[in-house]
């Protein structure tokens, strides 16, 4: 397994903070964004994040950046995994709530914002659904969609743990090429040595952001995922009871999405897109 950390920041924040000229390992992505992609244990990633944090304090929290780990595996590692984590990379807006989706908020945590449930149908804007993905999510991070094509293949393989909900556009439900992906398979809680924090390169001791109110949300999952064999209900498509992500602005913490080897085989055969795959350990 090869691990890299990817850090992205806005170029104008970097300019405001006087960090230019940039070293050659900070690459521009288009005209607005700069990126650092280095091995996880490379000190340049840590240095860059620390400088961004320093700028954030100096510029009154107006510096935005994101940092996450990406892991590459060989075939043997992927085929030997107990479960596989789906990290959805294809995102779109507007969110369901901007399109008048209704939610059951009875279980929603007032602090971390996790736990709301869509009252079907999920309402979205048809023109914004991605054209080059099979699984995607809105920028709220707790509304996932799957193409009719892939949904049909998962059903045909008799995979368990999910239902395909309707998506409505405009005033009424329409037949679309997409379904709302509703996962009820239960992977239980993430267990040790899963680790959490605010970013993957600068994990501070005790930086566990366990929500004091609902005790489900813990900041970002920064290690690979580990779940307990006894708690996983053996569904092919399942979610963790923990939610990850930082609930702020329009973004909601959401559970980790995991799939079995059987489901992974269907995704591979279908050449499904819109996500990356990580090994998840069943211990
Ligand atoms: Zn909470």
The residues spanned by each domain of the chain are 2-72, 75-283
Q: How far apart are CA 187 and CA 257, in angstroms?
A: 9
Ligand 1 center–CA 121 separation, angstroms: 25
Ligand 1 center–CA 243 separation, angstroms: 9
- Supply the DSSP symbol for 210: -
CA triplet 241, 254, 146: central angle to 5 degrees? Answer: 105
Phi, psi of 50, deg, nearest 5: -65, -40
Contact 166, 179 (CB under 8 A): yes
* Alpha-carbon distances of 236 from 154, 161, 170, 243, rounded to whole Å: 10, 6, 33, 19
Judged on CB neighbours under 10 Å (0-12, 13-18, 19+), 268 is: exposed
* Alpha-carbon distances of 103 from 87, 96, 123, 148, 149, rounded to whole Å: 24, 9, 11, 23, 27
Q: Which pLDDT does position 204 carry in this prediction?
A: 57
What is the length of the chain?
A: 283
Digitized pLDDT (tens) for each residue of the chain, 283 residues in all: 999 999 998 888 877 766 667 788 889 888 888 999 999 889 998 888 888 888 888 877 677 788 889 999 999 999 999 999 999 999 999 999 999 999 999 999 988 889 999 999 999 998 899 999 999 999 999 999 999 999 999 999 999 999 999 999 876 667 679 999 999 999 999 999 998 887 787 665 555 678 889 888 878 888 999 999 999 999 999 999 999 876 666 888 999 999 999 999 999 999 999 999 999 999 9
Q: How far apart are CA 99 and CA 45, in angstroms?
A: 38
What SS3 state is found at 147? Answer: strand
Ligand 1 center–CA 106 separation, angstroms: 13
Closest by CA to 270, choosing from 187, 171, 167, 159, is: 159
Ligand 1 center–CA 213 separation, angstroms: 5
Q: Which residues contact 208 (CB under 8 A, 6 or more apart)?
A: 196, 197, 218, 219
Q: Which pLDDT does position 251 carry in this prediction?
A: 84
Ligand 1 center–CA 24 separation, angstroms: 41
End-to-end CA distance of the chain: 19
Domain covering 2-72, topology? Alpha-Beta Plaits (3.30.70)
The rounded Cα 214 to chain-centroid distance in angstroms is 20
128 forms beta bridges with none
Ligand 1 center–CA 108 separation, angstroms: 8
Contact 229, 258 (CB under 8 A): no
Ligand 1 center–CA 247 separation, angstroms: 9
Ligand 1 center–CA 279 separation, angstroms: 27
């Amino acid at each position: 397994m090869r691990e890299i950390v990817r850090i992205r920041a806005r170029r104008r924040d970097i300019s405001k903070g006087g960090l230019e000229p940039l070293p050659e390992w900070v690459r521009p992505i288009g005209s607005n964004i700069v990126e650092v992609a280095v091995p996880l244990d490379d000190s340049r990633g840590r240095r860059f994040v620390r400088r961004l944090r320093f700028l954030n304090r100096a510029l009154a929290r107006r510096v935005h950046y994101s940092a996450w780990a990406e892991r590459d595996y060989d075939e043997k590692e992927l085929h030997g995994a107990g479960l596989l984590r789906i990290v959805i990379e294809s995102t779109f807006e507007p969110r369901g709530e901007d399109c008048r989706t209704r939610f059951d908020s009875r279980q929603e945590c007032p602090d971390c914002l996790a736990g709301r449930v869509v009252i079907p149908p999920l309402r979205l804007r048809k023109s914004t659904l991605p054209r080059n993905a099979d699984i995607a999510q809105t920028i709220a991070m707790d509304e996932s969609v799957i193409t009719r094509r892939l949904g049909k293949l998962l059903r045909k393989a008799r995979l368990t743990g999910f239902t395909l909900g309707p998506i409505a556009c405009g005033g009424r439900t329409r037949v679309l090429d997409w379904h709302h992906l509703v996962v009820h398979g239960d992977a239980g809680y993430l267990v040790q040595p899963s680790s959490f924090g605010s970013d993957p390169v600068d994990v501070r001791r005790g930086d566990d952001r366990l929500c004091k109110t609902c005790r489900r949300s813990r900041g970002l999952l920064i290690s690979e995922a580990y779940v307990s064999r006894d708690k996983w209900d053996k569904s092919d498509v399942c979610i963790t009871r923990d939610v990850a992500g930082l609930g702020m602005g329009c973004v909601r913490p959401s559970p980790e999405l995991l799939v079995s080897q059987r489901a992974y085989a269907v995704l591979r055969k279908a050449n499904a897109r819109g996500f990356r795959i990580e090994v998840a350990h069943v211990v």
